[in-house]
Amino acid sequence: MKNLLRKALAIATVSAMTISLAACGGGSAATEEASSDAAATEAEDPAFDAGTPVSGGTFSTYWSEFYNEYDVSANDNRNFVDLFSESLWGINWDNREELGFKTAYLDINYITGNLAKEWEMADDYSSLTVTLQDGVTFADKTAVGIDEEYDIYGGRALTAADVKYSYDRVMGFDGVTQVQMEQTDWPGSLSMLESVEALDDSTVKFNFNTNTELDIQKFMCVMLNICGPEWDELTDEQKTNWHYAGGTGAFILTNYVNDNTMTFTANPSYWATDADGNALPYLSEINLVHTLDAATMTSSIIGGELQALVANNELISADEASTLPDTVNTYSYYNDCPAVCIKLGDNPVEALTDINVRKAMQYAIDLEAISEYKGYTYADDLEKNINLFLNGTGLNTADGCSEETLAEYTTYDPELAQQLLDEAGYGDGFEFDVYLYEAQPIDSFQLAAEYLSKVNITMNINVCSTPPEMSAHGADRTDPASMYGSIGTDKTNAIINIFRSDGVMNNVFQTNDAIDDWCDQISGAATLEDMVAAAAGLSEEYLSQHYYMLVSYAQQYNNYASDSLKGWNGEKWTQYYFAGDILSRIWVE
């Protein structure tokens, strides 16, 4: 293998303001087998040279999970939706080198118009008026062989009324029935939005309930894909039929075999071009291939059946990776400190309600040894603790976590752990249950359990076959069982949803007025500086409470891509809301 790219998935954005739980980590799959041999070799990122685009060709890549859900607003954790639909906003490719795509949710500095051609803020920031791109149409699916009965839009033009409808339906505005997305809290993401007006066929006006530029910037960073009212005229059964999937995106879904393959064909009427005027997308076809078998993944990329293995976790073992030829490039990422969410709900494990017990549990686990066993290597402490304290500010610093609190997470001291347990009245130990999704680093949790057993604590590990099965335990405040979590978020609204005592995604179910106050300060911030300061305060308060027990430092995992894949700089199409934007600009040779 060659060209090892180290891409720490750091958070350095306007929207990345604090730490949090990524509720289920459910966009990943496949087994994880790691050893000390998995350590990455240090290498400088090679200069990115996109080369000259070549039109045509088929690109096939591993895809972690399939869903029978085709509502364009389901794009949170349903990245394939972004291939056939798109939003007003997109990636500013002029900033590609500077950006480096090290975060999932881009800030305003890296956002530009997509379906939005021009936009203007009111002087008092009470509204944003958007002019749509010329010549945008919903895909004519009959042009790629889809029967007319499934082509609900018939290739008609996109209008401002469609944009208004798309926002109205997720917010419940103007008499439109509100849609509920299991994975996405659109009202939370768009809390600054008060109403939407279609001024004419190509102009839409967004009215806000705030008066700060920061809130408009947040609004522009929310990637809501656009549909027309025809979609909601379908029955529930029709909405789970892949044939009806449609939008204005670069590709059209032309075949779907559940948990096997999704095929997307280039949209022949797609409106966008690259900076040189070349028609997008470059590819003629994309195949998203699902498999849980690491040996099949390895042989497929060696044999050329797949051109990429890209996911949010380790897909193949170090031994399997060592068999890959030099024509396969390795991209190394850092993401998520795997952790146990401590449940403080209606029926908690009594011992876990004591903060000194929670501190003792962390002191009892040797994170350094577990990370070394896993083969994780780090250039510096920032990389090592990437999701522990980094997100306390938006600036890649540790300002959101005091040295004392950081030491409580990173110091291995089993004697102190036992002392704290004795003082709390739990010197003889206790037990609790943890639920994990099978694609998560189970061995890290097993090692953590061994360390806990040395101070008489029994952590029973239950392995779930699907993320929803795991998440069901986390979402039930009457269930004392804890679940896998990861510290780190990069969406401002997620801060409120996850951290507040009444947050809809809060799986700790704590009651903490100080945390709620910091959340209020973040949501009410008028400037980026105010938000960063409040986020740092929230990080310190939340971390100091030890609501999560880390089982290793940041996970290192590798993705792989064939030399034949061009125009790609390691951007994680599995991580971003921009899968269509990214994949429309790659090609194969």
Q: What is the Cα Rg of the chain in Å?
A: 24
Helix ranges, 41-105 (H): 81-84, 96-99
Which pLDDT value is given to residue 208? 97
Whole-model pTM? 0.78
Supply the angle between the helices 367-374 and 442-453 in degrees, to the nearest 10: 150
* Mean pLDDT, residues 136-149 taken together: 97
State yes or no: pLDDT of 292 exceeds 70.
yes
Q: What percent of the chain has pLDDT over 70?
A: 84
Give the pLDDT score at 62.
Answer: 92
- Looking at residue 333, what is its pLDDT? 77
- Which whole number is the average pLDDT over 360-384? 88
- The whole-chain average pLDDT of the chain stands at 84
CATH topology of domain 337-553: Dipeptide-binding Protein; domain 3 (3.10.105)
| C-alpha angle 98-45-22 in degrees, rounded to nearest 5 | 70
Per CATH, domain 56-307+556-588 is 1.10.1060.10: no
Choice between 555 and 54, residue whose per-residue pLDDT is larger: 54
Tens-digit pLDDT profile for residues 53-97: 999 999 999 988 777 889 999 866 578 999 999 999 988 887 766
Q: How confident is the model at residue 109 (pLDDT cuts 50, 70, 90)?
A: confident
The reported pLDDT for the residue numbered 398 is: 47
Q: Using CA atoms, how far apart are residues 60 and 376, in angstroms rounded to an integer?
A: 29
State yes or no: pLDDT of 14 exceeds 50.
no
Strands (E), 222-369: 251-257, 261-266, 285-289, 308-309, 328-335, 337-341
Distances (CA, A) of 18 to 408, 488, 489, 527: 19, 7, 7, 16
Least confident of 12-26, 254-268, 379-393, 403-417: 12-26
- Percentage of the chain modeled with pLDDT above 90: 54
151: phi then psi, degrees, rounded to nearest 5:
-95, 80
Could you tell me which residues come within 8 angstroms of residue 446 by beta carbon, excluding any fewer than 6 positions away?
A: 461
Q: Note the pLDDT of residue 575.
A: 67
Task: Indicate if the pLDDT at residue 183 is higher than 70.
Answer: no
**Every domain of the chain and the residues it spans:** 56-307+556-588, 337-553
Closest CA to 121 of 199, 224, 213, 190: 213
CA dihedral 576, 579, 585, 589 (to 10 degrees): 110
Instruction: Evaluate whether 56-307+556-588 and 337-553 have a shared fold.
Output: no
Q: What is the pLDDT of residue 1?
A: 43
Mean pLDDT calculated for residue range 174-202: 90
Euclidean distance between the first and final Cα of the chain, in Å? 19
Residue 47 has pLDDT above 80, yes or no: no
Rounded Cα distance between 292 and 315, Å, is 9
The H helix count followed by the E strand count for the chain is: 19, 21
Considering 103-117, 156-170, 388-402, 503-517, the range whose residues carry the highest mean pLDDT is 156-170
Query: Residue 25 above 90 pLDDT?
Result: no
- Residues 300-345 have pLDDT tens digits of 999 999 999 988 777 888 899 999 999 999 988 777 688 999 999 9
CA 77, 82, 85, 87 torsion: positive or negative?
positive
Q: What is the pLDDT of residues 232-264, one digit of tens each?
A: 999 999 999 999 999 999 999 999 998 899 999
Give the least confident one: 128-137, 217-226, 486-495, 544-553: 486-495
Residue 363 half-sphere exposure, CB side, CA atoms within 13 Å? Answer: 20
Give yes or no for residue 395 having a pLDDT over 60: no
Band of the pLDDT at 493, cuts 50, 70, 90? low
pLDDT for the residue numbered 555: 82
What pLDDT score was predicted for residue 386? 53
Q: What is the pLDDT at residue 36?
A: 30
